Amino acid sequence: MKNGLVKEVLSGRAFTVRDFGSPPDGNAEDVIRGLEEEARGGSGAASYAIHLKLWQCANVLKPGRERASVDAQRWKECKDLTPGRLEESIDWLRLASRQGHLGAQIQFSSDADAVVGGMQGVFRNPDSIDEFKQAAVGFMGAAAKRGSVDALMWLGDTYRYGVIAEQDPARSHAYYLAINRAAPDLVSQRLLQTIGKDLTPRELERSQLMSKEIYDECCK
Per-residue model confidence as pLDDT tens digits over 21-39:
999 999 999 999 999 999 9
pLDDT for res 1:
44
Residue 79, H or E segment: none
CA distance 70 to 54: 15
Encoded amino acid at 105, one letter: Q
Distances (CA, A) of 111 to 12, 33, 54, 116, 132: 29, 27, 16, 9, 10
Which whole number is the average pLDDT over 150-178? 97
- Spatial CA neighbour of 129 closest among 138, 117, 146, 139: 117
> What are the residue boundaries of the structural domains of the chain, listed by start?
1-109
Mind listing the pLDDT tens digit for each residue in 110-134?
Answer: 999 889 876 676 667 788 899 999 9
Which whole number is the average pLDDT over 126-143? 94
* Widest Cα–Cα separation across the chain: 62
pLDDT for res 3:
57
pTM for this prediction: 0.91
| First-to-final CA distance of the chain | 31
Q: Three-class SS of residue 9?
A: strand
List Cβ neighbours of 212 (8 Å cut-off, separation of 6 or more).
none
Residue 88 has pLDDT above 60, yes or no: yes
Give the angle 112-113-114 at the CA atoms, nearest 5°: 95
Q: Are the C-beta atoms of 112 and 149 separated by less than 8 Å? A: no
Residue 67 has pLDDT above 70, yes or no: no
